[in-house]
Amino acid sequence: MSEINYVIEATDLTKQFGDFKAVNAISFNVKKGEIFGFLGANGAGKTTAMKMLIGISNPTSGAANVAGFDVFTQAESIKKNIGYMSQKFALYDDLTVKENITFFGGIYGLSRATLKQKINALIEELGLHDIADNLVGALPLGWKQKLAFSVALLHNPKIVFLDEPTGGVDPITRRQFWEMIYKAAHEGTTIFVTTHYMDEAEYCDRVSIMVNGKIEALDTPKKLKEQFKVTSMNNVFLKLARG
Amino acid sequence: MSISVNHISKSYKSIQALQDISFNVNEGELFGLIGPDGAGKTTLFRILTTLLIADTGQASVAGYDVIKDYKAIRNCVGYMPGKFSLYQDLTVEENLEFFATIFKTTIEANYHLIKDIYVQIEPFKNRRAGKLSGGMKQKLALCCALIHKPKVLFLDEPTTGVDPVSRKEFWDMLKRLQQKGITILVSTPYMDEAALCDRVAFIQNGELLEIGTPKNIVKEYSKKLYNVKSDNMYQLIDSLNTFKYTYSAYPFGEFVHYTDTRDEFDIKELHSYLKDKGLHNITIEITNPTIEDTFMALAK
């Protein structure tokens, strides 16, 4: 077992479909409280890698430990100890704000008393008083995503996985969303995030860039820019991502 | 005038999707409709492609009225919806042939229009469309929207969820199509893509906030904008948000873009305020606004 200095430890993690190595022996660590940006072009293998890390896809080979649990043998424990939200699926549109919180809180085994307290705190924090009983489907996307992030944190997970959480969100709400990310990280939650917005890559403590199943670069945004002798993460990405 | 929109409004039950929208797109123009999810972009596209009828107002495309001449419009426009809408269980080639046949043409007749794009997906021409990656689906959809040589091309969020490299390639492609005389109306939530259009319209909550060339739109930004940087982004944002003279403070990459409520102010004052908050390596420099700054100032 590992020391819990690292919330994710991956060594030569590989996923093979037939002859095709979607994820090809990636190794990296993510520290507690770190905001880790997981970048790559469409089809580079990000989603496949993420599925292994959150315990819903078995690796072909290699090793990985997430939140203190092994991806091969303790996938169920991983699921209980992480938070997850994606752009495509986050909340149920035909449940109200309150019902969604209650539902996901229940899934994660929060007690009634804790849940009640959490609901009130959350509605207070996000300023959702007037719409707590409205269907989530009627909310603007930005609100939905902010709520989904809070819901992903309900059970105080060590780490939360965010798969393109801000796609299509307006620029102001997108920034409010990142302020929530900073806050959570500041309070010790580890953030693992994918994004296609390169300004958001700059907000990460460290960034990895996947190309054709491999991690081709991994460092702080500052060092990556120095390494590739460019002025923005967008240009780092453009230099790398076509292999 | 290739597209003309006059006082178009549309609502769904209690939601006002579009409110009194008016603008024109010139022939051969690459015009961007820039706005977040839920702004009303798709509703506008559906009205212009004759799939939806506005509550009030008029619109015309390629000289045809969207209601009276809807059939003529359908023959001379290409439409790539935001959601992938090709036949998933037809192959790449079958989809393309199908759309060519519907419009009484052949792949060969207009191959020059799609060649650049099609060669990239040709190796997969026998693959079912449903089995393609996101980037390839998008290229196939564009081919299918072009195969009848449309006068006007409508692209609804073609680059949402697409990585920066593929986005750049896609825009290079649009520029080449424009050079072939096709008028293009394209929507996007990515502000950096606005700079690549001839003109753009900002849209939010069903209202047009601004129309103009990217250069002129940026000139509209009236406040002095500063790049602020320090060793701790979280604390920096937090401190700026509680500073009594802050008008706006938005993270922009490695900086925070800051504007002050006063017309003139002393940078040193802000500097010492941040220093007192425990921040280090503070830099404050004046900077030029981007299109995104302008959008946020208008949307605030």
> Which positions ≥6 away from A31 have C-beta within 8 Å?
A5, A6, A7, A190
Collapsing DSSP to helix, strand or coil, B108 comes out as: coil
Residue B15: predicted pLDDT: 86
**b/e code B21-43 from CB counts within 10 Å (16+ = b):** bebebeeebbbbbbbbbbbbbbb
Domain span including residue A129: 33-56+75-240
Residue A243: predicted pLDDT: 57
A212 in Cβ contact with A24 (< 8 Å): yes
Nearest to B37 by CA among A181, A165, A130: A165
Q: Is A164 on the interface with B (CB under 8 A)?
A: yes
Task: Please tell me the distance in Å from B251's CA to the nearest CA on chain A.
Answer: 7
Residue B257: predicted pLDDT: 96
What is the average pLDDT value for chain B, to the nearest integer?
94
Q: How far apart are CA A134 and CA B216, in angstroms?
A: 41
Looking at the structure of chain A, the number of domains it has is 1
One-letter amino acid of B49: T
The reply to whether CATH 3.30.70 applies to domain B225-299 is: yes
Residue A1: predicted pLDDT: 47
Q: Do B36 and A185 touch (CB under 8 A)?
A: no
Residue B210: predicted pLDDT: 94
Q: Is residue A17 part of a domain?
A: no
Domain range list for chain B: 3-219, 225-299
Query: Element (H or E) spanning B212, and its range?
Result: strand B207-212
Residue B189: predicted pLDDT: 87
pLDDT in single tens digits along all 243 residues of chain A: 445 579 999 999 999 999 999 999 999 999 999 999 999 988 899 999 999 999 999 999 999 999 999 999 999 999 999 999 987 777 999 999 999 999 999 999 999 999 999 999 999 988 888 889 999 998 888 889 999 999 999 999 999 999 999 988 889 989 999 999 999 999 999 999 999 999 999 999 999 999 999 999 999 999 999 999 999 999 999 999 765
% of chain B residues with pLDDT over 70: 100
Tens of pLDDT, residue by residue over A6-47, are 999 999 999 999 999 999 999 999 999 999 999 998 889 999
Task: Please tell me the distance in Å from B272's CA to the nearest CA on chain A.
Answer: 23
User: Could you tell me if residue B24 is left (phi over 0), alpha (psi between -120 and 50 degrees) or otherwise beta?
Assistant: beta
Nearest to B238 by CA among B279, B297, B266: B279
Q: How far apart are CA B148 and CA B144, in angstroms?
A: 8
Residue A100: predicted pLDDT: 95
Q: Do B251 and A175 touch (CB under 8 A)?
A: yes
Q: Is A168 on the interface with B (CB under 8 A)?
A: yes
Tens of pLDDT, residue by residue over B86-114, are 999 999 999 999 999 999 999 999 999 99
Residues of B with Cβ-Cβ distance to A168 under 8 angstroms: 36-37, 157, 160, 189
Q: Is A202 on the interface with B (CB under 8 A)?
A: yes
Average pLDDT estimate for B57-68:
97
* Binding-face residues of A in 12-51 toward B, CB within 8 A: 40-44
Joined tokens for residue B166:
């593929």
Task: Please tell me the distance in Å from A34's CA to the nearest CA on chain B.
Answer: 12
CA count, 13 A, side-chain hemisphere, A169: 25
For residue A137, give the DSSP letter: G
Joined tokens for residue B146:
């072009």
Q: Do B161 and A164 touch (CB under 8 A)?
A: yes
Whole-angstrom CA distances from A206 to A36, A48, A192, B91 are: 5, 20, 10, 41
**b/e code B205-234 from CB counts within 10 Å (16+ = b):** bbbbbbbeebeebbeebeeebbbbbbebbb
Average pLDDT estimate for B156-171:
88
User: How is the beta sheet containing B64-65 ordered, strand by strand?
Assistant: B15-25, B3-12, B56-61, B64-65
Best mutation target, B37, B204, B252, to test chain A (most A CBs within 10 A): B37
Q: Do B133 and A42 touch (CB under 8 A)?
A: yes
Q: Is residue A170 part of a domain?
A: yes
Task: Please tell me the distance in Å from B246's CA to the nearest CA on chain A.
Answer: 16
Of A140, A141, A234, the CB nearest to B164: A234
What's the CATH number where A142 sits?
3.40.50.300
Residues of B with Cβ-Cβ distance to A171 under 8 angstroms: 36, 191, 250, 292, 295-296, 299
Of B37, B38, B237, the CB nearest to A182: B237
Q: Is residue A15 part of a domain?
A: no
Tens of pLDDT, residue by residue over B126-136, are 999 999 887 78
Q: Is residue A13 part of a domain?
A: no
Joined tokens for residue A86:
């994606």
Q: Is residue A62 part of a domain?
A: no
Name the closest residue on chain A to residue B251, using Cα atoms. Answer: A175
For residue A93, give the DSSP letter: T
CB pairs under 8 A between A and B: 97
Pairing of strands B225-229, B283-287: antiparallel
Residue B85: predicted pLDDT: 87
For residue A94, give the DSSP letter: T
Name the closest residue on chain B to residue A145, using Cα atoms. Answer: B37
Topology, domain B3-219: Rossmann fold (3.40.50)
Residues of B with Cβ-Cβ distance to A237 under 8 angstroms: 163-165
Q: Do A203 and B168 touch (CB under 8 A)?
A: no
Q: Do B252 and A199 touch (CB under 8 A)?
A: yes
B47 in Cβ contact with B2 (< 8 Å): no
Q: Any bridge partners for residue A10, and if so which?
A: A28, A64
Task: Please tell me the distance in Å from B253's CA to the nearest CA on chain A.
Answer: 4
Q: Is residue A140 part of a domain?
A: yes
Does position B77 have pLDDT exceeding 50, yes or no? yes
Residues of B with Cβ-Cβ distance to A173 under 8 angstroms: 36
B286 in Cβ contact with B225 (< 8 Å): yes
Residues of A with Cβ-Cβ distance to B295 under 8 angstroms: 171
Residue A4: predicted pLDDT: 52
Q: Is residue A24 part of a domain?
A: no
For residue B112, give the DSSP letter: H
Q: Is A208 on the interface with B (CB under 8 A)?
A: no
